[in-house]
Chains A and B, each alone.
Chain A
Amino acid sequence: MLEPVRNLWVSGLLVVGAILVSVAILAFLHQLAPSLRHRVIAVLTFFAGLYFPLEFFIPYHNFLTPWRNSVADFLRLMAAFTFGLGIINLLIIHGRHLLRWTSNAPFSLAFFSGFLLMLVIGLISHYKPTLWAQAVPKEAIGTVGFWDAAFRLFFEGALQSLNATIFALLAFFIVSAAYRAFRIRTLEAGLLMATAIVVMLANVPIGQQWLTGWIPEQSPLAWLRLEKLSHWLQTQVNAPTMRAIVFGLWVGSLAMAVRIILSLERTFTVGGQ
């Protein structure tokens, strides 16, 4: 519905105007008596919360539909406003460690190094990739520039590898968690162990080919083949249980949404606001 403004001056003025209006609204809310402020916020929450359900429940393309993207952009914009707060929070915490040179100072130093390095390299590689570059020889066309290479080194070479390293820890933790879960102390743990063995064996050749592979497919005992037992466990036992949990969750989520829209749920708000 709202088209982006191409004119730089007009868009700049709109941004400044929007910020001024937001500040004015916040100042106005701040001036109100707490009970009145709560009422104003409750009314705003009600109408804001009603937009998406109404847009969905009124059949077909309705008067609210053209505004859908604009409302979604508005929500993204609100989130973007707080992003700076996250960075400030990090800078304050790590800055304090460095200034007082606490035992955590080396970690804070690593944070500042990584933060500044990625920020500078990321900005230069995006906006000024030819900075300090020599004239590129003809035969080098197509090769990666310095800033791009530096960005890749830190992003793909360091960050993504570190991410993968942490993810890889999961393999070891699954083993230790499984060990604890499979200690047969109760009937439930025994059942868990038995089903886990069936599912695991059904996924490896030793189970499929050797242990029960000799049972003919057409035999009345074919259901004893491990892959069939595993399939039955996953589709007839596991899937319905998961669906039942999801079912309960969605009803709970609906109730919570109703409470939020009607401003009845105040446990996560500050002073009921």
Chain B
Amino acid sequence: MEHADWGTVYPWLVWLLTVMVGLGIWLSARGRQLHIRRLPAIDAMEEAVGRAVEMGRPILFVPGLADIDVPTFQAIAIAGHIARSAARYRNRVIVPVTNTVILTMAEQVLREAYAEAGAGDVFRPEDVRFLSGEQFAFASGVIGLMERERVASSFFFGNFAAESLILAEIGQRLGAIQIAGTPSTLQIPFFIAACDFTVIGEEYYAVTAYLTKEPILVGSVWGQDICRIALATFILAATVGMKWLPPIIVKFLTFPT
């Protein structure tokens, strides 16, 4: 499908969802109090940072097989929050990356996070490391880092593939408290098995809103939730009603091939 087919429901749905997210942002910006449910994995982040501080060991944040995409931007945003928390206690956060664009971005975000917390001297530029663009070379590099630095807490957020379990199991062996979140659905079971807390599905995109409580972010998460409820209702209604719907509507609802 090279271009949108406006004779079907799909492009209309995308714009409808965009409008709903926009509505959430607008309502929140106008001061409406919107609620996001509690997420235990995110509540545990502060605890994980605190544990690393108590043990006097660094924190590891892996933004996955980073590419220049939405999940990685979200991962870097979370890295910024972790760095801000760690900086308050003057602890180090090590961020190994696979992509050089993300390297510069992560370095600047961490530098700023430490400076904001008044701990600019604690930040070491070499803690944000480009290890390799190769998946398993990167994985072996991260394993080496974890072993040498004896990290006390590990955060795995971003796109992951087969290396997810390798990294999480090494962390488990080291006794690190581990929190993970990924949009790569095939890796979620591995993280659930090997990490202490796992952020699942849409929760991944709600992390920054939950952490910052910024009205715009909270509003967009609220908008997403409304979208999901509306879509699920729509799917259910269309599935049940398909038998009685006229062919023109069925064609409108069918995905173009």
A binds B: yes
Contact B162 A247 (CB under 8 A): no
Contact A89 B165 (CB under 8 A): no
Q: Is residue B180 within 8 Å, beta carbon to beta carbon, of the partner chain?
A: no
With A89-B129, A245-B201, A258-B21 already in contact, the answer to whether A181 and B77 are too (CB < 8 A) is no
Bound together, the chains give a CA A177 to CA B190 distance in angstroms of 8
Q: Is residue A85 within 8 Å, beta carbon to beta carbon, of the partner chain?
A: yes
Contact B17 A251 (CB under 8 A): yes
Residues of A near B250 (CB, < 8 A) are: none
How many residues of chain A get a CB closer than 8 Å to chain B's CBs? 62
Contact B77 A162 (CB under 8 A): no
Residues of A near B76 (CB, < 8 A) are: 268
Contact B201 A56 (CB under 8 A): no
Residues of A near B220 (CB, < 8 A) are: 255-256, 258-259, 264
Contact B204 A267 (CB under 8 A): no
Residues of A near B77 (CB, < 8 A) are: 265, 267-268
Residues of A near B190 (CB, < 8 A) are: 177
A142 to chain B, nearest CB (A): 31
Residues of B near A166 (CB, < 8 A) are: 136-137, 139-140, 163, 166
Bound together, the chains give a CA A39 to CA B11 distance in angstroms of 30
With A177-B193, A268-B80 already in contact, the answer to whether A83 and B100 are too (CB < 8 A) is yes
Q: Is residue B144 within 8 Å, beta carbon to beta carbon, of the partner chain?
A: yes
Bound together, the chains give a CA A96 to CA B11 distance in angstroms of 54
Q: Is residue B27 within 8 Å, beta carbon to beta carbon, of the partner chain?
A: no
- The number of chain B residues touching the other chain, given as a range, is 35 or more
Interface string of B202-241 (1 = CB under 8 A from A): 1011101000101011001101100110010000000000
Residues of B near A82 (CB, < 8 A) are: 100-101, 103-104
Contact A245 B188 (CB under 8 A): yes
B176 to chain A, nearest CB (A): 15
Contact B103 A86 (CB under 8 A): yes
Q: Is residue B255 within 8 Å, beta carbon to beta carbon, of the partner chain?
A: no
Closest residue to A96 on the B side, CB-wise? B126
Interface string of B165-209 (1 = CB under 8 A from A): 110110010000000000101001010111000001110111010
Bound together, the chains give a CA A269 to CA B231 distance in angstroms of 31
Partner of B18, one of A59, A85, A246, A254: A254
Residues of B near A169 (CB, < 8 A) are: 166
Interface string of B1-31 (1 = CB under 8 A from A): 0011110000100100110011001000000
Residues of B near A137 (CB, < 8 A) are: none
Contact A104 B205 (CB under 8 A): no
User: What are 15 A-to-B residue pairs whose CB atoms are below 8 Å?
Assistant: A57-B11, A75-B68, A163-B134, A166-B139, A166-B166, A170-B162, A242-B185, A252-B201, A255-B223, A257-B70, A267-B77, A267-B212, A267-B217, A268-B77, A268-B105
Enumerate chain A interface residues (CB-CB to B < 8 A): 55-62, 75, 78-79, 82-87, 89-90, 92-93, 96, 104, 107, 159, 162-163, 166-167, 169-170, 173-174, 176-178, 180-181, 242, 244-249, 251-260, 264-265, 267-271
**With A166-B166, A249-B201 already in contact, 13 other A-B pairs whose C-beta atoms are closer than 8 Å:** A56-B3, A86-B133, A89-B130, A90-B129, A90-B130, A167-B136, A173-B169, A242-B185, A247-B231, A258-B220, A264-B220, A267-B81, A267-B217
